[in-house]
Amino acid sequence: MLVTVLVLLVTLCALGGTAEERQEAQRPGHVSVVILGGTGDLAKKYLWQGFFQLYASQASSANTFSFYGGGLSPADSAKPVFFEILKAVSCPKDLSQERCAVLKEQFLRLSQYRQLKTLEDYQGLAKHVEQQLQEEGMTEAGRLFYLSVPAFAYADIAEKINSSCRPAGGAWLRVVLEKPFGHDLPSAQALAAQLGTALKDEEMYRIDHYLGKQVVSRILPFRKENKDSLDPIWNKHHIERIEIVLKETLDVKGRIPFYDQYGVIRDVLQNHLTEVLMLLTMTPPVNVSSIQEVQQNKLEIFSSLLPLGKNQAVIGQYQAYKAEVQKELNKTQDHVSLTPTFAAVLAHVADARYEGVPILLTSGKMLDERVGYARILFKNDIFCLQSQDSVHCKPKQIVFHFGHGSLQYPAILVSKNLFKPVQTDAGWKEVTEHANVSVLGLPLSDYYVQTPKVQREAYAELISHIFAGCKNNFISTENLLASWSLWTPLLSSLKGSFPRVYPGGADNGGMLDVQLKGNEISFNSKVVIISPDQVGRSSTDGFQVMQGKFRSAEMVSAWAEELVERLAADLQEAAEAAVRKEGVFHLALSGGSTPIALFHRLVLHHFSFPWRDTHVWMVDERCVPLTEAESNFHSLHDHLLQHVRIPYYNIHPMPVQLNQRLCVEEDGGALLYEKELGKLTNGSSFHFVLLGVGYDGHTASLFPGSKVKELRQSMVALTESPIKPHQRMSLTFNAINQAHRVALMVMGKGKHELITQLSRVKDDPEKWPVTGVKPTHGTLIWYIDYDALIG
């Protein structure tokens, strides 16, 4: 049985590594393995297991080993933990119990914990290795450092290794790194440059454990072996769509401090799914052993990928995430994290072969099942009039099933209406016993199924590659930077976007289904309007929009994203109606952070909004220069005005700065705005006024205790805010209440207390200014999201 493992290792090696590397790898001698972070989670779960399997597979070779667990803790305290971890490694399936027990005892004897913190610690380790080599008269084969530590420590450790732990006399040095390799292009470049001063490129092994998955590493060989069948159909004329999917059922509780800074795109799409995309679309190398050719062909695909923008992605966040963030990051109730835990991205390779083929990459936490796969769905041009169950009517597809899901095991599946794949790899077998399961719409019996004879853990697989010096399944610097170049613009464009909130698990239903249209992707589910008599129903069954009453005015409520969509749609409808009737639409907008999501929605999804005939006015303004970030106009400009085609002379900022000073009564700024309003609007009436509400019940810049009655005659006034900047200019109730339509937008859990209070208090504009909003002829609608309404 041991022989099988050795054979496997040799076949793996045949797939990668240059001739020199293989020769080097085969030079027998002593190998020192150092795992930094040797008592951490990853080491405990996978690494020591992987190295034990490596040791077992090499037991009858000419190599000898020592293993070091390195960490920051002193040896006294870490040692017991370390040996507990080592004792827990399990026997490879292909090894007898007796043999395994012997090997395990040897493995424990060859292992020790060392504190590796200071430069002296590293020098001490080097000295220890050299002494051992000398005493036992061994030649050195190489040193392997596995950095299972946070990425910020990489550069420092790499320098220490370079300055004190390089082996002498032609032995190899290999340093293994785990993601994240930066969080965007500039940080990845900086990290690569830092590492480059201490380590040579060929010494670095950047792990993407997905590349160690057996099915993933079979993609290229499969494509080559089945070239004759695939060549005619592996192109835009025959491929309907490519899907690369990693669904998880777990949440990220306990890992928020890390996860909240990364999110699903950086955590999964930028690396794992992108690598699978490369393997599926790159030109298979003529010589799979040539690392240069493999890397070159990958880079070619990167350069053909169309850039990813906001319209190529949809994002989501599971409902409980917000509370987890507040708890783990010590944030208050109104803290909102925009980090996505779900993303679906539509990519396109713009070359002659794949042009126009949609490539969907998607992953998320808290989904209905755990599964990973890539599916190539082919077009089926057969029209079945009657015998719809016959094989030629069914989907034509190839599924690279990485694991889990209904199938449970890794496999490559080819639907029987395509072709029968050849099977040459001695480590794989054909499955002929078809369990009663179906995979992506087809019963297993409708597929040719291939599966590995022995299932191996991705880490064990990659560790054997590192030992063999096969670099094909690792991420080169160029590859890494190319990937970040692809993802960084998308990540920047998503900044500030609200993810769709989903309940998690089976309850997600169709909420995260997406629609691919040309070059754009969107959520498939449309907003559903429930009639007012259903308002009393429990909130959990409706991820929808409901309508009801609040403070005896109309209310629309939904989860944030749907609410914003609904408000944007209502706004557009009002604009179109006004333009039809009067040729113009006068809109007054508030500042603050709540409307920003609305602005983004208007920019991105309402291309037909009549901006040309719209006049934009301000509800209120802070007495700061318009060029400052605090200015409401500044924010409105950044988030909305600069992105839409609105004529300059239709934009009406409040004149807070006159005679080179801010909001001085004698300068008459408020009166000036009032006059402009009177001149351009019909009877000073806005068609639409958008308002928010502050925690203290203020609206516009009308604060509790302000003498609203004294403002009775004017439309625009200078007011005082209890918070900085204190001076404001604001529309008065006169102006607001003359509007045709007033929308009051309230969002976020932090506003729940306020909403509860507002539902009870009587009209009292001195104490609760928002209760003074009472359009005399027009309508008032509250837009309240579920977080604010339900808490």
Residues belonging to the active site: 272
How many angstroms separate the CA atoms of 611 and 68, rounded? 67
CA nearest 449: which of 458, 437, 457?
437
Residue 451, classed as helix, strand or coil, is strand
Q: Which of 11, 445, 524, 682 binds ligand NAG (CB under 6 A)?
A: 682
Q: Is 578 in the site for ligand NAG (CB under 6 A)?
A: no
The least CB distance from residue 526 to ligand NAG, in Å, is 32
Min separation Cβ 681 and ligand NAG, Å: 9
* CB-based contact 774:719 (threshold 8 Å): no
Q: 69: which residues sit within 8 A by CB, 6+ positions away?
A: 35, 38, 39, 43, 48, 78, 82, 85, 86, 111, 112, 113, 114
Among residues 330 and 538, whose Cβ is nearest to ligand NAG?
Answer: 330
Find the part of the chain contacting ligand NAG (CB under 6 A) among 93-101, 194-202, 271-279, 306-314.
194-202
Residue length of the chain:
791
Q: How far is the CB of 683 from ligand NAG (least distance, A)?
A: 5
Query: Residues 106-145: x/- map of binding to ligand NAG (CB under 6 A)?
Result: ----------------------------------------
Q: Does residue 200 touch ligand NAG according to CB under 6 A?
A: yes
Distance between CA atoms of residues 106 and 127, nearest Å: 23
CB 668 within 8 A of CB 721: no
With CB under 6 A as the contact rule, the residue among 73, 112, 290, 544 that binds ligand NAG is 290
Using CB under 6 A, pick the residue from 73, 112, 283, 289 that binds ligand NAG.
289
Stretch that binds ligand NAG, among 78-86, 196-204, 221-229, 567-575 (CB under 6 A): 196-204
Residue 136: enclosing H or E segment and its boundaries? Answer: none
Beta-strand relationship, 172-178 and 371-378:
unpaired
Could you identify the residue written with the tokens 């009775």? 712
Q: Tell me whether residue 470 or residue 641 sits nearer to ligand NAG (CB atom).
A: 470
Q: 499-529 burial, b if ≥16 CB within 10 A, otherwise e?
A: bbbbbbeeebeebbebebeeeebbbebeeee
For residues 232 and 352, give the distance between their C-alpha atoms in angstroms, rounded to a whole number: 14
Q: Is 582 in the site for ligand NAG (CB under 6 A)?
A: yes
What CA–CA distance (Å, rounded) separates 728 from 656? 8
Check residue 199 for interaction with ligand NAG (CB under 6 A).
yes
| Minimum CB–partner distance for residue 739 and ligand NAG (Å) | 11
What would the two tokens of residue 256 be? 């928020």
Q: Is 3 in the site for ligand NAG (CB under 6 A)?
A: no
Q: Considering only CA atoms, which of 32, 13, 151, 51 is closest in space to residue 463?
A: 51
State the virtual CA torsion across 665, 669, 671, 674 in degrees, nearest 10: -150
Does the protein bind ligand NAG through residue 330 (CB under 6 A)?
A: yes
Least Cβ distance, residue 163 to ligand NAG (angstroms): 5
Structure tokens at 361: 């990459």
Q: How far is the CB of 291 from ligand NAG (least distance, A)?
A: 7
**Among 97, 386, 387, 436, contact with ligand NAG (rule: CB under 6 A):** 436
| Nearest residue to 398 via CA among 242, 265, 179 | 242
What are the distances in angstroms from CA 201 to CA 114, 187, 188, 619? 27, 18, 15, 58
226 Cβ contact list (under 8 Å, min separation 6): 419, 421, 422
Binding mask 504-543 for ligand NAG (x = CB under 6 A): ----------------------------------------
Cβ closer to ligand NAG: 18 or 522? 18
Nearest CB to ligand NAG, comparing residues 56 and 256: 256
304 is a contact residue toward ligand NAG (CB under 6 A)? no
- Roughly how many angstroms between the first and final C-alpha of the chain, as a whole number? 61
CA angle 273, 276, 277 (to 5 degrees): 85
Name 441's bridge partners.
none
Find tokens 């409808």 and name the residue: 573
Minimal distance in Å, beta carbon 330 to ligand NAG?
4
> Whole-number minimum distance, CB 675 to ligand NAG, in Å?
18
Looking at the Cβ atoms of 424 and 455, the one nearer to ligand NAG is 424
Stretch that binds ligand NAG, among 71-79, 193-201, 491-499, 592-600 (CB under 6 A): 193-201
Told to check if 19 binds ligand NAG by CB under 6 A, we report yes
Per CB under 6 A, does 177 bind ligand NAG?
no
List 23, 131, 163, 390, residue binding ligand NAG (CB under 6 A): 163
Among 97, 648, 683, 776, binds ligand NAG (CB under 6 A): 683
Q: Is 42 helix (H, G, I), strand (E, B) or coil?
A: helix
- The residue count for binding ligand NAG (CB under 6 A) is 16
198 contributes a contact to ligand NAG by CB under 6 A: yes
Query: What phi-psi label fits residue 654: left (phi over 0), alpha (psi between -120 and 50 degrees) or beta?
Result: beta
Binding status of residue 412 toward ligand NAG by CB under 6 A: no
Per CB under 6 A, residues contacting ligand NAG are: 18-19, 162-163, 197-200, 287, 289-290, 330, 436, 582, 682-683
